[in-house]
Amino acid sequence: MSITAADVNKLRQMTGAGMMDCKKALTEAEGDFEAAIDVLRKAGQKVAAKRADNATNEGVVLVALSADHSNGKLIALACETEPVSKVADFNNLAKSIIDKAAASHAPSAHDLLAEPLADGRSVEGHIIELTGRIGEKITLAAYENISAEKVVSYIHSNNKIGVLVAFENVQGADVSEIGKDIAMQITAMKPVALDKDGVDAETIEREIEIGKDQARQEGKPEAMLEKIAVGKLEKFYREQTLLNQQFVKDSSITIRQLLENKQKGLTISMFKRISLV
């Protein structure tokens, strides 16, 4: 059958695919628009499968906060190259995904991928289709969803790093400024946990072994290695857990002390940091 320019343009408006891809899909589908859309999706799936092992270190990180700042969501939509991260269709899709996350309260990335966007197709379907159109791997690299008395967010200027900080026992205090300071510290210092008890056993064991090995190389007696390693572990906690870190704007106090100075009993219940760098 004859495929008209109007048909091609209609499919292009429906999918955002290129003119030649639309014409090819319509020809293969013998003018059936739904079948042509399936053809385009399958093309995206083929590209996704072919590039499945490719690294995705570019993209954008976006945040959404509820009106009362009691909930925050972060997404990272990742791609392979910087030029693609600047393409309008890529950024429009990222905006649609964070808007859907804010509206749906999807509990996990798996659930968010299954959520329908405005045209009824899933987030995952849109990602696969855009993969086919652009020709490189695109993925929902991260998704975080946290709730607290107050949630403060921060997006680094390059839109490659995002942080959510959950505050409790706020008691009416304005935590926006202190929240931004702490979020910026999390961005720069990359704490591995909120406090000592949040550090996993595997990390603790690794740090103890590193401490023992360092002491051994320094010629310390074997009987002293365990004690030395435990001392080094305390240093690790001070440097790598948020509440025990020195505040970067005032090294005379820790983040724990900063919170107490702001509001007695003010605490952080959790934080989330996602990064494409």
pLDDT of 17 over the 70 cut? no
Instruction: Read off the pLDDT of residues 72-83 as tens digits, 9 standing for 90 and up.
Output: 999 999 999 999
Instruction: Read off the pLDDT of residues 161-176 as tens digits, 9 standing for 90 and up.
Output: 999 999 999 999 999 9
pLDDT value of position 245: 97
Q: Where are the beta strands (DSSP E) in 120-241?
A: 138-147, 150-155, 161-168
Q: How many helices (H) and strands (E) does the chain have?
A: 11, 8
pLDDT value of position 119: 87
Q: What is the rounded average pLDDT for all residues in the chain? A: 91
What is the greatest pairwise CA distance in the chain?
A: 86
| Structure-token pair, residue 102 | 């804010």
Instruction: Read off the pLDDT of residues 228-260 as tens digits, 9 standing for 90 and up.
Output: 888 889 999 999 999 999 999 999 999 999 999
Is 276:160 a contact under the CB 8 Å cutoff? yes
pLDDT value of position 7: 83
pLDDT value of position 263: 94
Q: Between 97 and 34, whose confidence is greater?
A: 97
What residues have CB less than 8 Å from 68, skipping those under 6 apart?
A: none
Please tell me what DSSP assigns to residue 242.
G
pLDDT value of position 133: 81
Domains for the chain: give ranges and CATH numbers. Answer: 5-50 (1.10.8.10), 53-147 (3.30.479.20)
Residue whose tokens read 């509820």: 66
pLDDT value of position 47: 62
Q: CB-side exposure of 75: number of CA atoms within 13 Å?
A: 27
Residue whose tokens read 């859907």: 100
pLDDT value of position 44: 66
Strands 267-275 and 71-79: unpaired
Nearest CA-CA partner of 123 in 137, 106, 136, 135: 106
